[in-house]
Amino acid sequence: MLMDFYVLLGIEPGATLNDIKRAYKRLARKCHPDINPGDRMAAAQFRRIAEAYETLSDPEQRRRYDTGGAPAAPDPAGTVGFQGFDFSMSVGGASASTFGELFADILQRGGSRPNEGTPERGTDLYHSLTFGFQEAMQGGQRDVTATRLEHCRTCQGSGRVRTVESRCVACQGTGNIQSARGHMVFSTSCPQCQGTGRRNDVICPACGGRQTYLRTDTLTINVSAGLADLARIRIPGKGHAGRNGGEHGDLFITVRVEPHPVFRREGDDLHLVVPIAIHEAALGARVEVPAIDGTARLRVPPGTQSGQRFRLSGRGVPSARGGTRGDLVVEVKIVLPKLLDERSKELLKEFGKINATEDVRRDLSPGSSGSKAL
């Protein structure tokens, strides 16, 4: 009869999961063999009630049952046996676990577990390296010492090694593990042998089942020319080894570049301030300026003003992504000479007479388009 399980639990076909749980607990208290010792009919009734509950409390089994299909066979790995119930007395008073709490614990014990043998990717490692400015511009090779978890060579990261088949020590060959809580004894499938009662492997003696060991390596890495401060280098597969033989994580190296006393970097361009004498600015000159690969010659045209900038193409930072280099941007700053003798003073006075200062401050005169209110 289609609704036997519903009738057996005394509930309607549309009952909720909470209704099913309440009905089961009520009937289990009444029909449990420990409460009815020697009553075979009560024991049979209890088994039937347990079967009804297992079927109707699982959505998929309940759907198959409601549509006329047979209940699914129980999963050996998730089967939970009830032994040694004693509902005749309370243990622990008010602090004792309720039947509902114990039942929830049983479900948790017998429920599905994630596959503990599934390989997992290892975690990443992070390191930092400090480079001098010139070293970062030129690139090259650097050694990095990293301590990481590596797969055990003996068990290849599994934590166990093959051996002659023998009886499972954890369950004494029974395939089940029993545990007690209060007056209740639970029987679950042995997780060590998956309920077979036999084992053909043992814990790896080299790693003690930890699957990994600590290893310190010195790695030689290639550093691209032109790396910027806080740039990150990724070295695949040099992080921690994964659980259950899983792949390694990666090693990430953060680059720190020390500042340069002369150059200032903006992207792939280098900026530089160069002092020039007043006569070089007035008459023009060719000035040697420092560059990261030696020196460069800058042509200062006549009449150059202090703060004026000149760009030397291709004399900046090598691009870390390859391709062309940045530029060297030179800002000139006119520096007045120290007047150490009378001759220099006379020459500057004569220069001032020839070049009227009114022309210098013409833009500040009232009414001019370049004047500003002070």
Residue 275: strand pairing partners: 333
Task: Give the model's pLDDT for residue 91.
Answer: 42
Poorest-pLDDT segment among 198-202, 308-312, 338-342: 338-342
pLDDT per position as a tens digit, 61-109: 888 888 765 555 444 444 444 444 444 444 444 444 444 444 544 444 4
Give 264-278 pLDDT, tens digit per residue: 999 999 999 999 998
What does the pLDDT average to over 42-57?
83
Q: What is residue 183's predicted lDDT score, i.e. its pLDDT?
A: 58
Question: 220 by DSSP, 3-state: which?
Answer: strand
pLDDT-derived band at 53, boundaries 50, 70, 90: confident
| Residue carrying structure tokens 């676990």 | 97
Identify the weakest region by mean pLDDT among 56-65, 87-96, 173-182, 281-290: 87-96
Using alpha carbons, list the distances in angstroms from residue 303 to 233, 300, 308, 338, 364. Answer: 47, 9, 11, 21, 20
Q: Which two tokens stand for residue 234?
A: 């990724």
Predicted confidence at residue 35, as pLDDT, reads 74
Q: What pLDDT score was predicted for residue 74?
A: 47
**Cβ–Cβ < 8 Å for 235, 183:** no
**How confident is the model over 188-203, as pLDDT tens digits?**
888 878 888 888 888 8
User: What was the pLDDT predicted at 30?
Assistant: 81
pLDDT at position 147 is: 92
- Mean pLDDT check: name the lowest of 14-23, 274-283, 294-303, 339-348: 339-348
- Comparing 364 with 92, which gets the higher pLDDT? 364
Using alpha carbons, list the distances in angstroms from residue 88 to 127, 197, 332: 63, 34, 99
Domain 121-151+213-259 matches domain 264-364 at the CATH topology level: yes
DSSP for 119-177 reads: --PPPPEEEEEEE-HHHHHH-EEEEEEEEEEEE-TTTTTSSEEEEEEEE-TTTTTSSEE
The full set of domain ranges for the chain reads 4-110, 121-151+213-259, 264-364
**pLDDT averaged over every residue in the chain:** 80
Least confident range from 117-126, 169-178, 287-296, 297-306: namely 169-178
Q: How many CB atoms sit inside 10 A of residue 87's CB? A: 14
Q: For the chain, how many residues are written?
A: 374
Per residue in 205-245, pLDDT tens? 999 989 999 999 999 998 889 989 999 999 999 999 999 99
Identify the residue whose tokens are 């008010």. Answer: 94
Question: Distance between CA 9 and CA 55 in Å, rounded?
Answer: 12
Residue 34 pLDDT exceeds 60:
yes
The whole-number average pLDDT for the span 41-51 is 81
Predicted confidence (pLDDT) per residue in 319-336, tens digit = 877 778 999 999 999 998
pLDDT at 362 exceeding the cut of 90: no
Dihedral sign computed on CA atoms, order 33, 36, 42, 45:
negative
- Provide Rg for the chain, Cα atoms: 42
What pLDDT is stored for residue 365 in this prediction?
A: 54
**Which has more pLDDT, 146 or 1?**
146
Residue type, 212: T
Q: What is the mean pLDDT of residues 19-46?
A: 80
For domain 121-151+213-259, the CATH superfamily is Urease metallochaperone UreE, N-terminal domain (2.60.260.20)
User: pLDDT-derived band of residue 25, with 50, 70 and 90 as boundaries?
Assistant: confident
| Percentage, residues of the chain above pLDDT 90 | 40
CATH class of 264-364: mainly beta
Which is the CATH superfamily of the domain at 4-110?
Answer: DnaJ domain (1.10.287.110)
Give the burial string for 107-138 (b: 16+ CB within 10 Å, else e): eebbeeeeeeeeeeebeebebebebebebbbe
Is it the case that residue 125 has pLDDT exceeding 90?
yes
User: Rounded CA gap, 110 and 344, in Å?
Assistant: 101
Indicate the pairing of strand 125-131 with strand 251-257.
parallel
